[in-house]
Amino acid sequence: MSKQTYRVCFCFHRRFRLAVTEAPAEIKDLFSQYSENGIMNADRLRNFLIEVQKQEKATESEAQAIIDQLRHIHRKGLNLEAFFKYLFSDSNLPFQSQTVHHDMNAPLSHYFIYTGHNSYLTGNQLSSDCSDVPIKEALERGVRVIELDLWPNAAKDNVDVLHGRTLTTPVELLKCLKCIKEHAFTASEYPVVITLEDHLTPDLQAKVAHMVTQTFEDILFTPGPESLKEFPSPESLKRRIIISTKPPKEYLEAKEVKENENDPQKGKELGDEAAWGEEVTHQKSMPVSDDKHDLDEEDHNEEEDLDCGDTKSQQHEAPEYKRLITIHAGKPKGGLQECFKVDPDKVRRLSLSEQQLEKAVATYGKEIVRFTQRNILRVYPKGTRIDSSNYNPLIGWTHGAQMVAFNMQGHGRSLWLMQGMFRANGGCGYVKKPDFLLKTDPPNEVFDPKVKLSVKKTLKVTVYMGEGWYYDFRHTHFDAYSPPDFYARVGIAGVSADTVMKKTKTLEDNWVPTWNEEFEFPLTVPELALLRIEVHEYDMSEKDDFGGQTCIPVSELRSGIRAVPLHNEKGEKYPSVKLLMRFEYF
């Protein structure tokens, strides 16, 4: 071992021993209760795992394996330092399972699916570069739905991917397709859906069909000539690529950039949020005055689907292109009420903007839930989010929307919720919807998110302490001349009745803050609740500094004392920063 490595290890060990001295009294008391003469052997550790950690099936051999991992600290068992190190270790994370554990044999419509919006953009929606790099990064994070906007190239003889009617620079479609093939199943074996928003002539649609079939070959799933009566399951589509788009339509010439999209003042209004994003609140639904107008008000956007009954458009279709489509997109003629009608003989995808959804849920909340039991609802950001910000995903999820499409290249609290939701089920990109969103009997009874329900369970959260900033941040990052002043924010994102944020006291001048504070969260719909955790550093003269965040689905939380890793603004896990917390249900 080099002298430098020795010094780093010695510093780490010394700092950790200092952290042990600051351990909350409850942790020390538990160690005393489950140890003898200052040592916790395998039998006593097993009792701790069963009684405190609620790991009812824990065995003595599993307890011995934990002791063996920390034998370098004490040979005969766990002393207080080893016990404390175990509690902070990666073998004591808060997730019930880090593998796929949901039933994956139901139709695709029974799952929330990790969905990207304009997946090819490197930055803002107006002038950033288009590239295959953000597609690769999204797939490596477990995103399962990639969106590509297709336009003719300058010579009108090939296909580019770009955000139409903006100043974004294009990338070749073939490059994007090859990137998807190479990285589709890096993070998950479950199917990747490519949503195509095409603005192509029939001859270019035929060219797209050739590119897609040649690139993906036998991993491309094609449903056959008949419309699907029910979507296949994620399990049956493992390592397959699926195409979702509207039926082929007439070529639309690209237009000038719309004035309202190129308004610098509008962009400034959207960009003036805090570095970690605006606070997420459960938005109230907007009233519906004229649902036909609400549906049509954004039809000039390239996001919109064509009416399914537009036979004139279908006369220009490329048949080989149409045969690729597994998930057909489209809006029926008429208003919102027609949109949510369920056809027992076929399934489809409907796309709504975040604004359209907010208006629709005011009147048609139960109809939306019923629609999403068989069909797929995709929600996308409103067109004025040129800074690639996002919206509250809970509005879509509480109504059963499977594809809540997000700008993955952005950051902020809304995106943290999205990342948190899809840490569930082993991070495979598919999360089974709660049973109450899928319940069909009796026929007229479906979940109504507007109805306030009684409390099902209460989550008690104890925030003991934090550790790791000393190693992962420059020592002058928070304050130039003194240790940081940390506080934690803990709360719930879920249905309106459950949504809340609370805050610990601020601890001055301490790299290892020990808050030792308890919070209780009554939950009416725990199945849709996400535990939100943030740490900030108080700054009297400027905006508080960011110190880490994470979101965890309540349904995935293990009871007991757990080490909770924190992530940066982009959602990347810090090497060392963790909170020691306790989770209890009653």
Tokens of 533: 């955790």
Q: Which of 548, 562, 564 is nearest to 473 (CA)?
A: 548
φ, ψ (nearest 5 deg) of residue 389: -75, 175
Calculated CA dihedral for residues 569, 575, 580, 582, nearest 10 degrees: 70
Pairing between strand 530-537 and 486-493? antiparallel
Closest CA to 199 of 153, 133, 131: 153
Helix (H) or strand (E) holding 576: strand 573-585
Asked if 117 is an active-site residue, the reply is yes
Beta partners for residue 147, in sequence order:
195
Query: Which tokens sit at 323?
Result: 């045969």
By residue count, the chain amounts to 586
Identity of the amino acid at 28: K
Residue 292, both tokens = 């036909």
Tell me whether strands 325-328 and 241-245 are parallel, antiparallel or unpaired: parallel
Alpha carbon distance 332, 340 (integer Å): 9
Among 277, 294, 315, residue whose Cα is nearest residue 549: 277
User: What token pair was written down for 406?
Assistant: 């997000």
Q: Which of 102, 110, 163, 328 is the catalytic position? A: 163
User: Which listed residue (110, 117, 199, 567) is catalytic?
Assistant: 117
Tokens of 480: 């130039």
For residue 513, whether the previous peptide bond is cis, meaning omega lies within 30 degrees of 0, is no
Interacting residues of 316 by C-beta distance below 8 A, sequence separation 6+: 202, 248, 249, 250, 251
Residue 372 DSSP code? H
User: How far is it, in rounded angstroms, from Cα 173 to Cα 179?
Assistant: 10
Active site residue ranges: 117, 163
